[in-house]
């Protein structure tokens, strides 16, 4: 996976010149602005690599070549955001950004997909009932089991987390993960699920500058997860300031691009209690005062030669 800045550099230095040459275009025929490249990355592709980015650039060059060939007097065609819409049509995707204000019952998880990492918002609400747990959003079996484990932990520590002691006898809990058309599964959503549920039950909002990933056990431990690089890059694209992840993934941070490591504060945790302390705001809206566990400073690495995923 690449950061957006890496994708932009690959496009400007390799993909755009290559496709312009392939389609017989010169700089006097087409002026490919940086803002157009960034718009293609943001609104017309959703991937970890650059294959689709190259396809979209090729489509732009092909249409410009057709437009140029039909004119007797050649005038440089400026490819900017406005021109891009007329060439590629309406945006295919909308960038995912974190919510700007803390909300009760809403936590931001991180998921791995075939096209890279994605934000995984988890919503929980309570209603009068008899302790039923309702799960919606096309969740797989593993994620449903994580939600049940989260509920068991909360019930065993109700007083500690500030949730009603008898909530299981007079409240139903509905957990929903939006974009239900997309199947979602895996144990790494455990920490986001339990934060969302505790928030809804206790009335404490979840800080929206933090995203999280980690598997949970019934003993409240947070276990190592996979796909960390893709998940962190998703948080980086969404301008997330802090990422909570398992302590066991500490060494995996060396694989994170320098640009993402410098802009994100990593909070390494071993237990669910630490996650709750860092992610949930107090009754007055003040953040937890205990200092987070910071990842060790990673050494700078020599930049590798850009190449598309195969």
pLDDT digits (tens, 9 = 90+) for 212-261: 999 999 999 999 999 999 999 989 988 899 999 999 999 999 989 888 99
pLDDT tens for 161-200 read 999 988 989 999 999 998 765 677 889 999 999 999 999 9
Asked if 11 contacts 37 with a C-beta cutoff of 8 angstroms, the reply is: yes
pLDDT tens for 42-52 read 899 988 789 99
d(CA 283, CA 287): 9
Asked if 233 contacts 1 with a C-beta cutoff of 8 angstroms, the reply is: yes
Of the candidates 188, 196, 199, 207, the residue annotated as catalytic is 188
pLDDT tens for 6-48 read 899 999 999 999 999 999 999 888 899 999 999 999 899 988 7
Q: What per-residue string of b and e applies to 66-90 under the rule 16 or more CB within 10 Å gives b?
A: eebeeeeeeeebebeeebbeebbee
Is 231 catalytic? The answer is yes
User: Using 50, 70 and 90 to split pLDDT, how confident is the model at 138?
Assistant: confident
User: Using 50, 70 and 90 to split pLDDT, how confident is the model at 90?
Assistant: very high
Q: Which residue has the higher pLDDT, 295 or 154?
A: 154
Residue 282 has pLDDT above 60, yes or no: yes
d(CA 289, CA 294): 15
Task: Report the pLDDT value the prediction gives residue 46, as an integer from 0 to 100.
Answer: 84
Task: Please tell me the pTM assigned to this model.
Answer: 0.78
Is 188 catalytic? The answer is yes
């Amino acid at each position: 996976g690449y950061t957006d800045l890496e994708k932009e550099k690959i496009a400007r230095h390799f993909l755009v010149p290559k496709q312009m040459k392939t389609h017989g275009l010169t700089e006097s025929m087409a002026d490919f602005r940086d803002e157009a490249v960034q718009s293609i990355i943001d609104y017309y592709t959703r991937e970890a690599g650059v294959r689709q980015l190259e396809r979209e650039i090729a489509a732009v060059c092909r249409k410009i070549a057709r437009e140029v060939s039909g004119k007797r007097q050649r005038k440089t065609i400026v490819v900017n955001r406005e021109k891009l819409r007329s060439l590629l049509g309406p945006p295919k995707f909308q960038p995912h950004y974190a919510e700007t204000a803390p909300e009760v019952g809403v936590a931001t998880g991180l998921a791995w997909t075939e096209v890279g990492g994605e934000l995984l918002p988890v919503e929980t609400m309570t209603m009068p009932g008899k302790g039923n747990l309702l799960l919606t959003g096309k969740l797989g079996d593993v994620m449903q089991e994580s939600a049940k484990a989260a509920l068991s932990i909360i019930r065993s520590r109700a007083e500690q987390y500030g949730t009603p002691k008898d909530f299981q006898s007079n409240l139903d809990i509905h957990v929903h993960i939006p974009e239900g058309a997309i199947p979602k599964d895996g144990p790494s959503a455990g920490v986001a699920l339990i934060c969302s549920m505790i928030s809804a039950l206790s009335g404490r909002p979840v800080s929206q500058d933090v995203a999280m990933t980690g598997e949970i056990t019934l003993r409240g431990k947070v276990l190592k997860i996979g796909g960390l690089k893709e998940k962190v890059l998703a948080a980086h694209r969404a301008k997330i300031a802090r990422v909570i992840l398992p302590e066991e993934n500490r060494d995996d941070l060396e694989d994170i691009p320098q640009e993402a490591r410098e802009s994100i504060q990593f909070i390494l945790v071993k237990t669910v209690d630490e996650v709750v302390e860092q992610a949930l705001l107090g009754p007055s809206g003040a953040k937890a005062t205990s200092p987070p566990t910071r990842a060790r400073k990673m050494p700078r690495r020599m930049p590798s030669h850009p190449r598309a995923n195969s």
